[in-house]
Amino acid sequence: MPNKVHQLSNGITVYWDPMPESRAASIGVWIRAGSRFEELSESGVTHFLEHMCFKGTKLRTAEEIANEMDFLGGEMNAFTGQEMTSFYATVLSENARRAISLLGDLMSNPIFDAEELERERGVVLEELAESRDDPEDLAAETLFGAYFEGHPFGRPILGTETTIGSFTPESVGQYFRTHYHPGNLFITIAGNIDWPTLSDELENAFREIAPKVKTKIETTRPEPHFSIRELEQDFEQTHLCLGVRGVSQTDQRQSALRLLTTHLGGGMSSRLFQEVREKRGLAYSVYATPLSFTDGGIVRISASTRPSRRKELQEVLISELQRLESVPLTCDELTRARNQLKSSLLIGLESVSGRMGKMGKDILLWGKEIPVMEIEHWIDKVTPDEILELAKTLKWGNNQAISIVGPLKGE
């Protein structure tokens, strides 16, 4: 059954993926707002605004919003990324209408009460402190600062104590009006729903959203920087992150990159797992994660070990990156990486939330949903030679940004 595309009277586009076999529905509101669109002085405001939308509207208090979220069951939440923000709800089909009503209220009528804002400022500062107590989060944040130096991608999505302390109802409200309007957001729905009933509810729930505004937000292309940043911390282990060149999300080499990183650090049979953990016992876990944006990307390699073995771990990781440029994947290795990649994609689409999320991310990047069969075709047609050529082109063995967090001189 084909997806339905519907436009509300105020210009918001709604995409629906029917799943008649399901008892659930997942609704997502996607906003083209993220940390890359912030000025340096307002770093973290996108994430702070996401919090404030739940802290009271013209129709509901913060407590009433929380009570209704729990009453509906399922899951209702939001997240902020570098290039997007999403508010979503996954509920039983019979509760989809009320979930849409609540999401529409959050998007249309937040009031940014000064007292609530002060309370939430404390919450976000605690969230920031918690992330800095997490060694993996801190190592990743330090790596992004090194690799994307001078670019918004290098700043923490949460912001800093200084910027979080500067937000006011007026500044948050201005950011909201700039980004949360029909020209900058859309809705995706997957699941078993009665479309005529829900389309009426969507029209009603989002009718008061701010009108479309014409704003041109200038962005700069992220350029990689290859430097080392060390941060002394009182942890048991030293946490090591390497950042190497990635590709943009719509780059035709994206499938080859995903297969390469899966082979490098995507499972127990990966080169890094076998060399770092199984052969040398250097780390409990080691993995490679690609992250792509509209105009660039990074691949992050992460592991942690005792301080006395950190240099050995770093040498092994770089050696494996260099080996990728000269040792091609065998047919079995490529088949294994293909199976892992396709399994991750297809199993995730068994759920309504997985289908809703894929649809949203596709539309943000491509302006349309990419059929699963087409993605599978992209994966299947990649050859070992193409992967080897990509590894040589990206030059991972010679160019890495490195973050080291933890005890730096322990024996």
Least-confidence region, from 78-92, 126-140, 199-213:
199-213
Among 174, 205, 236, residue at a domain's last position: 205
Within 10 A of 132 (CB to CB), how many other CB atoms are there? 14
251 and 361 housed in the same domain: yes
Give the separation between CA 24 and CA 352, rounded to whole angstroms: 7
In this structure, what token pair is assigned to residue 40? 């340096």
Residue with tokens 């919090």: 51
192 and 337 housed in the same domain: no
Can you give the pLDDT at residue 209?
93
Q: Is residue 345 part of a domain?
A: yes
Average pLDDT, the chain: 95
Examine the pLDDT at 359 and tell me if it is beyond 60.
yes
CB neighbours of 69 closer than 8 A, spacing ≥ 6?
Answer: 76, 102
Output the DSSP codes for 261-310: HHHHHSSTTSHHIIIIIIIT---S-EEEEEEEETTEEEEEEEEEE-GGGH
Can you give the pLDDT at residue 3?
74
Among 172, 205, 238, residue at a domain's last position: 205
Give the separation between CA 18 and CA 96, rounded to whole angstroms: 13
| 3 state SS of 150 | coil
Using 50, 70 and 90 to split pLDDT, how confident is the model at 266? very high
Question: What burial class does residue 166 get, using C-beta atoms within 10 Å of its C-beta: 0-12 exposed, 13-18 middle, 19+ buried?
Answer: middle
Average pLDDT over residues 282-311: 96
pLDDT digit string, tens, across residues 244-254: 999 999 999 99
Can you give the pLDDT at residue 1?
46
Supply the CATH number for residue 67's domain: 3.30.830.10
Q: Is residue 167 part of a domain?
A: yes
73 and 112 housed in the same domain: yes
Phi-psi label, residue 11: left if phi above 0, alpha if psi -120 to 50, beta otherwise: left
Within 10 A of 48 (CB to CB), how many other CB atoms are there? 24
Q: How many domains does one find in the chain?
A: 2
Give the separation between CA 77 and CA 281, rounded to whole angstroms: 39
190 and 265 housed in the same domain: no
145 and 271 housed in the same domain: no
199 and 247 housed in the same domain: no
Average pLDDT over residues 203-228: 89
Using 50, 70 and 90 to split pLDDT, how confident is the model at 216? confident
96 and 38 housed in the same domain: yes
Phi, psi values for residue 69, rounded to 5°? -60, -45
Q: Is residue 48 part of a domain?
A: yes
Q: CA torsion, points 327, 333, 337, 342, in degrees to nearest 10?
A: 140
Q: Cα 267 from chain centroid? A: 21
Give the separation between CA 180 and CA 212, rounded to whole angstroms: 8
CA distances from 42 to 36, 157, 279 (A): 11, 11, 47
Q: Is residue 217 part of a domain?
A: no
| 3 state SS of 325 | coil
Average pLDDT over residues 59-73: 95
45 and 116 housed in the same domain: yes
Cite the active site residues. 50
Average pLDDT over residues 178-202: 94
Strands 228-232 and 286-293 come out as: unpaired
Q: Is residue 213 part of a domain?
A: no
170 and 276 housed in the same domain: no
Task: Evaluate whether 158 touches 44 at the Cβ level (below 8 Å).
Answer: yes
Rg (CA), the chain: 23
| 3 state SS of 381 | coil
pLDDT digit string, tens, across residues 141-177: 999 999 999 999 999 999 999 999 999 999 999 999 9
Q: Is residue 97 part of a domain?
A: yes
Can you give the pLDDT at residue 410?
60
Q: Cα 292 from chain centroid? A: 9
Residue 374 sits in which domain range? Answer: 228-406
- DSSP letter assigned to residue 182: T
258 and 295 housed in the same domain: yes
Instruction: Give the CB-side neighbour count of residue 136, counting CA atoms within 13 A.
Output: 8
CB neighbours of 95 closer than 8 A, spacing ≥ 6?
Answer: 72, 73, 74
Identity (one letter) of the amino acid at 281?
G
Task: Evaluate whether 75 touches 103 at the Cβ level (below 8 Å).
Answer: no
49 and 99 housed in the same domain: yes
246 and 334 housed in the same domain: yes
Q: Is residue 211 part of a domain?
A: no
Percent share of the chain, pLDDT over 90: 94
